Amino acid sequence: MSYAVVIPTCGRPSLDVLLARLLHDGAPGSTEIVVVDDRPAAAEPLTLDRRVRVLRSFGRGPAAARNAGWRAVGAEWVAFLDDDVVPGPDWGRRIADDLRGVPPTVGASQGRIEVPLPAGRRPIDAERGTAGLASARWITADMAYRRVALERAGGFDERFRRAYREDADLALRVLGAGYQIAGGRRSSTHPVRPAGALASVRAQRGNADDALMRRRHGRGWRERAGDGPGRLRWHAVTTAAALAALGAAAARRRRVATGPALLWGGLTAEFALRRILPGPRTAAEIGRMVASSIAIPPAACWHRLAGELHWRRVRPGGTSGGPGARPPLAVLFDRDGTLIHDAPHNADPAAVRPVAGVKWALDRLRGLGIAVGVVSNQSGVARGLLTGEEVARVNARVAELLGPFDVLCVCPHDPGDGCGCRKPAPGLVLVAAAELGVPVERCVVIGDIGADMEAAAAAGARGILVPNGRTRPEEVRAAAEVAADVPAAVAIALSGSLW
């Protein structure tokens, strides 16, 4: 049994505390610790202990960050920790015990979450919300998944851009794939973070994610996730009563407005009391609860409506789609820096090193019957740094390691030659599409620099950027679509289709 630890981070100082605990106590069976930095591309790279591997996911959200992490490791299990939890002092030994010898039908192991609440007073609303994590199902604050279960389920759905519902969605898909989720003996502490006065109102954005959950998993998803019925229906009644009262008042029909106004007042008071009575009942807390209880119902309804409209084409159990959606017929990849680690003007097949996760992504496309190809600038030929035969041998080694390609197009020209094939010109993309016999608008180009995206746009194809150390920040900002890694880019390429 082996496992890797993956920690997505948005740069919170608590990450240092978490890593100090893991590195100090050790983790029997752990192969490596991976931190996925999900801050925007403009952020300065994290400087961490040399024993920690750092990846970037460029602000695409925790689902994309976790995908980048687990696809980069080869351990049998992947243990996900949030960057604001503190593992127990014996966490390493206990997770090893939790994962050792579990039957193959178990696809995940959930750790216990403890939320310390303040002593000497009742918790405020925000603190009670955090305390709910202690009894929540499947939260990835401390959750380990068997790698094969992640692969079978397709990983986290990156359309969940917030730290909300992405964990329940994955767990439901893992259960649907025939696996069980077991409870572990290890525990982690989740401190209560300070929350602003409008935190509960901002949290209503999660209603849009609930719309995606309903589209993916059907109307009974809450019951299966153990989440309870929710309060959206009452929020809808409250909001409708407020609108009816305001409409009648605007029309100067005061008697008509009285009924809905009383209904709105009664429902709002009941909602506020539900939140005030368990708390400390200070003047400040009561004021926050009254104000937010007025704002929450319309905010919840607005975000749910926006979510329903946005995700209306999502098919249950699938990805985006609709009558007008068409899957790509071909996905064309840049070679150096995208499929394999960049070794400038490489003439040695022995130096070819595939990027982690690429083989999995290519096989996924092949399994769907989608053509895969390579479009690569090789100016070293024109500069006399390598020969066409050497390029061919390197390409043969790439195919040997990653599987066969349906088309492979190379531009041997120097940037000053003025050819029409060298990216950012569209020639390579157009030739590849022609050789495959597919319309170029049904092609997706995946690459690591701006020239790849410009070539795709010039040819009329869709471009998805996968940044790395040589990608300039302005190229990331200019890209229409950005993915944390190649598997994520393939997932994006397939979204908007019926797959």
Residues 6+ apart with CB under 8 A from 203: 129
- Where does 254-386 show beta strands of DSSP type E? 330-333, 371-377
pLDDT band at 27 (very low <50, low <70, confident <90, very high): low
The CA-atom distances, in angstroms, between 83 and each of 11, 28, 67 are 8, 21, 16
Residue 91 corresponds to which tokens in the numbers above?
């966490």
Confidence at residue 497, expressed as pLDDT on a 0 to 100 scale: 40
Alpha helices in 78-231 (DSSP H): 91-99, 125-131, 147-153, 166-176, 199-202, 206-217, 221-225
DSSP type of residue 32: E
At 318, the pLDDT band (50, 70, 90 cuts) reads: very low
**Residue-range domains of the chain with CATH:** 3-194 (3.90.550.10), 196-314 (no CATH), 330-494 (3.40.50.1000)
DSSP 450: H
Residue 185 — left, alpha, or beta (φ > 0 → left; ψ -120 to 50 → alpha)? alpha
pLDDT recorded at residue 492: 85
- % pLDDT > 90, the chain: 63
Omega of the bond leading into 349 within 30 degrees of 0 (cis): no
Q: Residue 405: which of 370, 381, 378, 438 has the closest Cα?
A: 370
What tens digit of pLDDT does each residue of 442-498 get?
A: 999 999 999 999 999 999 899 999 999 889 999 998 888 888 899 989 988 886 443
Q: Is 334 a catalytic residue?
A: yes
Confidence (pTM): 0.70
Rg (CA), the chain: 26
Outline where 78-162 has alpha helix (H). Answer: 91-99, 125-131, 147-153
Token pair belonging to 324: 């007008």
pLDDT, tens digit (0-9, with 9 covering 90-100), for 378-425: 999 998 999 999 999 999 999 999 999 999 999 999 888 888 889 999
Check: CB of residue 402 under 8 Å from CB of residue 363.
no
Which string of DSSP letters, residue by residue, matches 289-304?
A: HHHHHHHHHHHHHHHH
Query: Phi first, then psi: what are they for 437, rounded to 5°?
Result: 75, 35
Structure confidence at residue 29 as a pLDDT band (50, 70, 90) = low
Q: How far apart are CA 457 and CA 429, in angstroms?
A: 10
| pLDDT tens-digit readout, 150-163 | 988 878 888 888 99
Catalytic residue from among 169, 334, 406, 485? 334
Q: What is the DSSP letter of 194?
A: P
**462-465 vs 443-447, strand pairing mode:** parallel
Closest of 256, 212, 209, 204 to residue 231, by C-alpha: 204
Here the tokens at position 487 are 């598997």
Locus of tokens 């400040």:
284
Alpha-carbon dihedral angle through residues 396, 400, 401, 404, given to the nearest 10 degrees: 90
Query: Quick check: 339 and 354 in contact, CB under 8 A?
Result: yes
Q: Report the chain's mean pLDDT, rounded to a whole number.
A: 90
Q: Which of 125, 142, 210, 336 is catalytic?
A: 336
Residue 363 annotated in active site: no
CA distance 343 to 377: 13
CB within 8 A of 207, min separation 6: which ones?
Answer: 232, 300, 301, 303, 304, 307
The residue with greater pLDDT, 66 or 74, is: 66
> What is the structure's pLDDT at 314?
67
Distance between CA atoms of residues 391 and 349, nearest Å: 9
What DSSP string runs through 390-422? HHHHHHHHHHHHH---SEEEEE---GGG--SSS
Distance CA 86, CA 22 (A): 9
